[in-house]
Copies of this chain bind each other. A is one copy, B any other.
């Protein structure tokens, strides 16, 4: 338990605050029953006390050494602390947590309150052969915080939650330095008071830490306008077991290979990011988010490509495919989306399948006006049918909503999973089809037909992301096997199809094998050499990014 006030606590078995009401509307249940079938009775998570975790492997000597560094209240070995740090928020994590059988747990949770404490902890752990799993917001969906000890005697979770202050602000340069444990909402609140914003809004926004975002190469929903976290991180401080690396905030540099870009995305395997230096922007005075329809996904993607290559992109650019459009309109139910939008959709279906896009602009009123005018003209010239602001408002209201829905779906015995990639424009349609077919084919063959949806949400001149969501009945008692089959088939389809194994979910434990196929054995060996130098005893986040060495 930490001694200062903690950042918001999440349900140990799912997403969001414990008091959060169910998110799934009744008519959605009907839709699911019709389309994929539902279990007869809902399945609630077990009680916290019934979660089975192994006994703490740390002796009193080591625990007292940990307490000497982080303080008595900076070390937790209680059941709840350990369960809360036993897994991330991926689908298999939640399946196992809800059943009360997570895949291990850290032997202790340690909350350092300074860079010096982090350094002392790493040196102690190297000496004592204890694996260290850095823990930011705990939202990994790729097994990035699984408590793997590898060849070590124990594993601790290093929770950065007490290191959550703004260190300094350089207003002229629009840069801010924060401790790595600072949560994104807290930073946005601080910046808002100064008329500034970071503009980083991943779906997990409500819980993520800035250090975690940097360590996992996160990208937010407005990345098209604000850039991904790698564009925002200008420097950082890394505490590695061997030594510190301190990279000041530089607007640009040609001083050799980018050490900054080696630490961004390093997922805790090189060391612990303790400070992050970030670019900020003026808070937008105006914003608008609106909907446009296209005849089909191909037409919408072509239009987005034109926007990117004409430098006319909005800040939020989001294009659903046919099945995601269909599902979101069905689930919107009696909301504001229905009337005019429904008519436009039905009208459009006369000429094709119809897909919905959201385009959003943020900035000064004048800039938003000028940019919006040019973008909407280009969109219309490329087949878009504007349908006003109600889909934009609906998207904005629900932008962080999906993980809450997932909890309710799990209760209903429904598997819901997401995975994502990016590829060049010339390959978008082919990869969209290949991955969709792999998911639908695998789940269909297993007797649990799936709804597979996709959207584009990060757009570049040379290509875009593809984000897949799929829903199917769980195979009771075989949930993990079912997941492993479909995840493997989808990842094969991504890498064989010329996509990157992840656009913004990171590698963690789950994508390791496919990263090797993407960057090759020599690429993996290069990363391993880097790790060998900074973490010679291999205590940092074993088994993530790089396979455990025998």
Question: Which chain A residues have a beta carbon within 8 Å of chain B's beta carbons?
Answer: 170-175, 216-219, 228, 230, 234, 240, 242-259, 261-267, 270, 279, 281-282, 305, 309-311, 363-364, 367, 370, 374, 422-427, 458, 460-465, 498, 500-507, 511, 515, 518-523, 525-530, 532-534, 545
- 15 more contacts with CB within 8 A, not counting A172-B426, A257-B263, are A217-B254, A243-B522, A244-B520, A245-B520, A246-B520, A251-B462, A252-B460, A252-B465, A252-B500, A255-B519, A256-B265, A257-B530, A258-B262, A262-B526, A525-B533
B173 touches A252 (CB 8 A): no
Q: How far, in angstroms, from A245 to B257 measured CA to CA in the complex? A: 15
List the number of copies, as a whole number. Answer: 2
Whether the Cβ atoms of A173 and B522 lie closer than 8 Å is no
> Complex formed: what's the CA distance from A69 to B252 in Å?
40
Most chain B C-beta atoms within 10 Å of own C-beta, residue among A245, A263, A504: A245
A507–B253 alpha-carbon span in the complex (Å): 10
Q: Which of B245, B254, B267, B423 contacts A265 (CB 8 A)?
A: B254
Q: Which residues of B contact A498 (CB under 8 A)?
A: 248
- Set of chain B residues within 8 Å of A174, measured between Cβ atoms: 309, 425, 461-462
A264 and B259 within 8 A (CB): no
Subset of 29 A-B contacts with CB under 8 Å:
A170-B426, A171-B426, A172-B426, A174-B462, A243-B525, A245-B523, A245-B526, A247-B519, A247-B523, A251-B422, A252-B458, A252-B465, A253-B500, A255-B500, A255-B501, A255-B519, A256-B515, A256-B519, A257-B270, A257-B530, A258-B264, A259-B519, A279-B461, A281-B461, A310-B364, A311-B363, A311-B367, A525-B533, A529-B533
- CB neighbours (8 Å) of A244 from chain B are 520, 522
Residues in B whose Cβ lies below 8 Å from that of A422: 250-253
Asked if A462 and B506 make an inter-chain contact with CB atoms under 8 angstroms apart, the answer reads: no
Check B463–A251 contact: CB distance below 8 A. Answer: yes
A424 touches B529 (CB 8 A): no
Q: How far is the CA of A251 from the CA of B266 in the complex (A)?
A: 20
Q: Which residues of B contact A423 (CB under 8 A)?
A: 250-251
